[in-house]
Amino acid sequence: MQKQLLKDLIEWIENSSLSDLASRRLKLEEQLSQSLATDVQSDLKLAIRLIDEEVVTRACLQQKSA
């Protein structure tokens, strides 16, 4: 994945709501199941992993603040 694209993705993830993240994750999973190119699959898996990490991080922070 290109550096600028990765930076933009991380910025979007950090500023998105949980519902936006869930929606985007579902779309990425659809694309992953339809993609044959290995490099595209790798990029999609990275994006999904970053979204998952953000969701887990937010959940942990929310528990600590409660």
Output the pLDDT for position 1.
77
Give me the percent of the chain exceeding a pLDDT of 70: 100
Domain containing 44 equals 3-65
Half-sphere exposure of 26 (CA within 13 A, CB side): 5
Alpha carbons 2 and 15: distance in angstroms, whole number: 20
**Total tally of structural domains belonging to the chain:** 1
pLDDT tens, position by position, 34-45:
988 999 999 999
Q: How confident is the model at residue 46 (pLDDT cuts 50, 70, 90)?
A: very high
